[in-house]
């Protein structure tokens, strides 16, 4: 293929048809041109600002203001001018299917905007579709498309420089208060960074192979390719390597084929003697290098990546449901509502309702996934067959038009480059969206580059402009102007609504920071109340409920002689009334969210011990409502067990504990509560005999040995406790509470060095645990483990309401391997 030199001319003020571009469309162009530059880079260096929503808010502002400019321009010139392509029509059908599904979802507000205009809501899909719709309209010249590429590479090099410095100088360098570990990055997730540099690989590869560049641009392109491959090696996101291998192989064949055919055509048209056929077969070395690098990391990337991860202290796990799990959820949802699905942004509700049984044995047992295996497949569940069909048509037309375009004979070499590059970058991103769940910057770039591809189709004369004037026909003019004015008002209203959501999220985040960093309940409450005045979200009410519960618990445990009983009673009644109101408000906003019912149930549970009328019955009802929405949650069964225990119904408590352990047989908190109930009932010996019998039947169950150890510990049989806890730790080396009580048991029988070793191990995995630190310090000093302990630490951890050490459960072997190699895990 002949290479072509590119020169940018000053033509951005002229449309493709030769007519001058208006001021309003120039504003829209500038705003949209900033998307590939600003969106990947943009963040506010403060933990008080939600990271991803800040990017969504920026994108919404850019797109909505651009759309307003487009509407005003149409009102001014009286005509619609859009590229006539079926891709845009199919995209509009996909957008409408999402909106219709949202309207019939039962929770319209959640389906449209979610908590903070979440990705996957009808609102986010609307913004993304508008982006794809507007880009081909305002990017009417080849120069404008090239400028979009240049700004993308500007963002690319800035992000690369930022993260290279952090890799070599450590995560503390340029942390800016929010990038606190090696995998923190401007895009969001660690794998998103790999996919972003995958874009750089594809675009720089096409640029080097298809166009002639000046020396400086050639150096920059090779640098971009080298930097991209460097970061792909660091991140080692396997799906990107597979896509790049396929792309580089196809591109290799494509370049050789077109080089040969064009060279033969050129020779046949010239008067010079024909050269040998072999001279036409020039191998594109750059594509070959990318292909070989991809194959190396597909076949042996785990070992290489493991060494690199250890060098830069990179460790992370990113999990998502597998294809099998996603399709299983889809099967259940489509049986309930085949046409419209669950509704946009409602995957999580169907996940907790239908999640596979094996999930509870992983560290993700309590994770509420908001997407399936990929961004696009999730819409089968959330928008049903209507949405799925429109997505298939949209992507099918995109593939058909794209491959037909790049395989056709486009006389203009510049146009061929623009068509090929924009299509292949878009295709790369759509594949990532199918097989992965990228963050907003990558999803937005997918729609942006798809818009550039449509623009390049027009530049290549593959599609024509459709011009519709509404000034000549009064009826058509009236309807068009009315529609445009309604769109203008609606767009402004949406922008105002999104602004309120953003400000409310900032207030809420400030409240969380005030509570976590300053320990100020009053300050946290003040900020959350401010958030509620702007956005009536169930999350905000749940947070206020938790604050009320903390205050009630503190009041119940207060032993003050300075305050009269009547004053305390009034304070408690006011707190209880506020807590119930906030909990009920959360439920009223969304009855399909099990967390709202849990929050309400916790309010009633607090007052069960003081025998307030109907408190127990109301708590049971709330927890059972939550359980109906999340029937496989071990934690909900445990909540019911604790409720029954506090009401003195140990038989029912043990029944719920049994159900919790059926869902998750190594559930430490359930085992801990069961042991406490057995001790309280005074039948420790019988309980020990039963658990010993169970241990013979299930010799590989670490949970049973932990329970046995706890019972023996409570029975003062410390040697027997040592034996049981040792077996639990042997079966599960990450069993923190087994190590904790094993250490205490060692101390009880005089094996102080062994006790110190157990708490040293716990200190490594729990570096911030003050209790572990105190015990280790005392043991090293020859003191009793709980010497100088102050509340909430006491000398009887076996009698506490919860285990003393939070469990950081071990990951299945597949996930462990993923952490060292491919950090993306699906199941």
Q: Which of left, alpha, beta for 117 (phi over 0: left; psi -120 to 50: alpha)?
A: left
Kindly list the distances between the CA atom of residue 756 and the CA atoms of 361, 742, 762, 767, in Å, as whole numbers in the listed order. 30, 10, 10, 15
- CATH of span 653-827: 1.25.40.10
Nearest to 350 by CA among 341, 338, 362: 341
**Average pLDDT of span 446-456:** 96
Quick check: do 536-631 and 653-827 share a fold? yes
Kindly list the distances between the CA atom of residue 354 and the CA atoms of 377, 386, 631, in Å, as whole numbers in the listed order. 17, 22, 8
**Average pLDDT of span 609-638:** 92
Q: What is the pLDDT of residues 474-483, one digit of tens each?
A: 888 888 889 8
Distance CA 338, CA 321 (A): 21
**Average pLDDT of span 129-147:** 92
Are the C-beta atoms of 671 and 707 separated by less than 8 Å? yes
Tokens in use for 482?
């009315």
Q: What is the pLDDT of residues 544-557, one digit of tens each?
A: 999 999 988 888 77
Are the C-beta atoms of 660 and 638 separated by less than 8 Å? yes
Q: Which of left, alpha, beta for 341 (phi over 0: left; psi -120 to 50: alpha)?
A: left
- DSSP one-letter string for 40-51: HH---SSTTS-H
Judge whether residue 303 has pLDDT over 80: no
At residue 81, the pLDDT reads 83
Nearest to 188 by CA among 432, 421, 12, 442: 442
Its pTM stands at 0.87
Cis peptide, bond prior to residue 739, ω within 30 of zero: no
Distance CA 62, CA 73 (A): 17
Q: In terms of pLDDT, which residue wins out, 5 or 594? A: 594
Are the C-beta atoms of 226 and 811 separated by less than 8 Å? no
Q: In terms of pLDDT, which residue wins out, 585 or 177? A: 585
Q: What is the pLDDT of residues 704-743, one digit of tens each?
A: 898 899 889 988 999 999 999 999 999 888 899 999 999 9
**Average pLDDT of span 583-597:** 94
Distance CA 323, CA 599 (A): 33
Query: What are the sequence ranges of the domains in the chain?
Result: 4-267+275-468, 536-631, 653-827
Task: Give the residue carrying structure tokens 């995995």.
Answer: 765
Judge whether residue 813 has pLDDT over 50: no
Q: For the chain, what percent of residues have pLDDT higher than 90? A: 50
Q: 3-state DSSP call for residue 193?
A: helix
**Average pLDDT of span 401-418:** 84
Largest CA distance in the chain: 111
Judge whether residue 259 has pLDDT over 70: no
Helix (H) or strand (E) holding 83: strand 79-83
Are the C-beta atoms of 623 and 598 separated by less than 8 Å? yes
Helix (H) or strand (E) holding 825: strand 824-826
Entry field: residues in the chain: 827
Nearest to 645 by CA among 655, 631, 633: 655
- Domain 536-631, architecture per CATH: Alpha Horseshoe (1.25)
Q: Kindly indicate the confidence band of residue 809, based on its pLDDT and cuts at 50, 70 and 90.
A: low
Q: Kindly indicate the confidence band of residue 815, based on its pLDDT and cuts at 50, 70 and 90.
A: very low
Distance CA 711, CA 702 (A): 14
Q: In terms of pLDDT, which residue wins out, 768 or 455? A: 455
At residue 21, the pLDDT reads 57
- Residue ranges in 535-664 assigned as alpha helix (H): 538-556, 565-589, 594-606, 615-629, 634-646, 650-663
- Residue 489 DSSP one-character state: H
Q: Which of left, alpha, beta for 78 (phi over 0: left; psi -120 to 50: alpha)?
A: left
At residue 272, the pLDDT reads 44
Question: Of 375-389, 518-532, 792-806, where does mean pLDDT reach its minimum?
Answer: 792-806
At residue 817, the pLDDT reads 31
Judge whether residue 18 has pLDDT over 50: no
**Average pLDDT of span 38-62:** 91
Distance CA 430, CA 41 (A): 21
Distance CA 142, CA 414 (A): 8
Q: Kindly indicate the confidence band of residue 372, based on its pLDDT and cuts at 50, 70 and 90.
A: very high
- Where b means 16+ CB within 10 Å and e means fewer, 358-368 reads ebbebbbbebb
Q: 3-state DSSP call for residue 28?
A: helix
Q: Average pLDDT, whole number, for the chain?
A: 86
At residue 88, the pLDDT reads 93
Burial of residue 4 (number of CB atoms within 10 Å: 0-12, 13-18, 19+): middle
Helix (H) or strand (E) holding 111: helix 108-113
What are the backbone dihedrals phi and psi of residue 4, each rounded to the nearest 5 degrees, phi first?
-130, 140
Nearest to 691 by CA among 644, 513, 702: 702
């Amino acid at each position: 293929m002949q290479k072509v030199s590119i020169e940018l001319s000053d033509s951005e003020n002229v449309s493709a048809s030769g007519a001058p571009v208006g001021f309003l469309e120039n504003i829209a162009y500038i705003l949209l041109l900033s998307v590939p530059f600003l969106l990947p880079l943009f963040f506010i260096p403060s933990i008080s600002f939600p990271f991803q929503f800040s990017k969504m808010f920026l994108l919404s502002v850019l797109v909505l203001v651009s759309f307003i400019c487009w509407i005003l321009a149409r009102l001014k010139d009286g005509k619609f001018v859009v590229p006539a392509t079926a891709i845009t029509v199919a995209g509009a059908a996909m957008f409408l299917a999402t909106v219709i599904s949202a309207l019939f979802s039962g929770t319209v507000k959640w389906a449209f905007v979610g908590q903070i205009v979440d990705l996957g809501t009808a609102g986010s899909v609307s913004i993304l579709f508008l982006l794809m719709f507007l880009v081909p309209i305002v990017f009417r010249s080849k120069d404008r498309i090239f400028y979009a590429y240049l700004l993308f590479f500007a963002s690319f090099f800035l992000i690369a420089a930022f993260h290279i410095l952090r890799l070599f100088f450590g995560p503390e360098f340029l942390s800016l208060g929010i990038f606190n570990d090696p995998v923190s990055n401007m895009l969001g997730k660690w794998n998103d960074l790999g996919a972003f540099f995958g874009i750089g690989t594809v675009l720089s590869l096409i640029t080097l192979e298809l166009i002639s560049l000046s020396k400086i641009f050639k150096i920059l392109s090779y640098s971009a390719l080298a930097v991209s491959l460097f970061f792909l090696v660091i991140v080692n996101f396997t799906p990107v390597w597979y896509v790049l291998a396929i792309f580089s192989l196809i591109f290799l064949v494509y370049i050789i084929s077109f080089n040969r055919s064009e060279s033969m055509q050129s020779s046949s048209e010239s008067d010079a003697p024909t050269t040998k056929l072999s001279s036409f077969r020039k191998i594109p070395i750059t594509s070959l290098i990318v292909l070989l690098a991809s194959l190396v990391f597909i076949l042996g990337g785990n070992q290489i990546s493991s060494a690199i991860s250890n060098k830069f202290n990179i460790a992370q796990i990113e999990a998502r449901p597998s294809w099998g799990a996603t399709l299983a959820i889809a099967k259940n949802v489509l049986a309930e509502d085949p046409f419209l699905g669950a509704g946009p942004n409602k995957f999580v509700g169907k996940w907790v309702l239908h999640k596979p049984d094996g999930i509870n044995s992983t560290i993700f047992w309590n994770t509420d996934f908001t997407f399936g295996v990929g961004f696009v497949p999730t819409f089968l569940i959330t928008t049903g067959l209507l949405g799925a069909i429109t997505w298939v048509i949209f992507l099918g037309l995109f593939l058909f038009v794209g491959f037909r375009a790049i395989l056709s004979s486009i006389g203009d070499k510049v146009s061929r480059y623009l068509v090929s590059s924009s299509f292949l970058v878009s295709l790369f991103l759509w594949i990532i969206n199918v097989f992965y769940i990228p963050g907003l910057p990558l999803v937005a770039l997918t729609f942006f580059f798809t818009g550039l591809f449509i623009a390049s189709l027009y530049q290549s004369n593959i599609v024509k402009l459709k011009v519709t004037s509404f000034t000549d026909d009064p009826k058509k003019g009236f309807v068009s102007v009315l529609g445009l004015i309604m769109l203008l008002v609606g767009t402004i209203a949406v922008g105002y609504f999104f602004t309120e959501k953003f400000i409310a999220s900032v207030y809420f985040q400030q409240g969380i920071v005030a509570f976590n960093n300053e320990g100020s309940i009053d300050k946290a409450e003040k900020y959350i109340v401010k958030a509620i005045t702007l956005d009536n979200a169930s999350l905000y009410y749940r947070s206020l409920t938790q604050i009320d519960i903390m205050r009630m618990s503190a009041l119940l445990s207060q032993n003050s002689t300075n305050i009269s009983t009547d004053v305390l009673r009034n304070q408690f009644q006011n707190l209880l009334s506020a807590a119930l109101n906030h909990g009920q408000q959360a439920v009223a906003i969304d009855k399909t969210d099990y967390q709202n019912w849990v929050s309400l149930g916790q309010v009633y549970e607090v007052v069960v011990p003081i025998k307030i009328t109907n408190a127990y019955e109301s708590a049971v009802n709330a927890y059972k409502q939550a359980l109906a929405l999340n029937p496989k949650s071990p934690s909900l069964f445990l909540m019911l067990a604790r409720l029954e225990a506090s009401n003195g119904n140990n038989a029912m408590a043990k029944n719920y504990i049994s159900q919790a352990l059926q869902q998750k047989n190594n559930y430490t908190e359930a085992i801990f509560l069961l042991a406490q109930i057995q001790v309280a009932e005074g039948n420790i010996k019988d309980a020990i005999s039963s658990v010993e019998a169970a241990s013979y039947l299930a010799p590989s169950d670490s949970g049973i040995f932990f329970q046995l150890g706890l019972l023996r510990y409570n029975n003062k049989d410390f040697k027997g406790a040592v034996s049981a806890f040792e077996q639990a730790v042997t079966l599960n080396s990450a069993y923190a509470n087994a190590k904790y009580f094993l250490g205490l048991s060692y101390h009880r029988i005089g094996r102080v060095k062994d006790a110190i070793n157990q708490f040293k191990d716990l200190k490594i995995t729990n570096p911030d645990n003050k209790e572990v630190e105190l015990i280790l310090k005392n043991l090293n000093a020859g003191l009793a483990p709980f010497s100088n302990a102050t509340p909430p630490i006491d000398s009887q951890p076996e009698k506490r309401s919860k285990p003393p050490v939070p469990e950081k459960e071990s990951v299945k072997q597949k996930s462990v391997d993923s952490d060292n190699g491919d950090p993306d895990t699906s199941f």
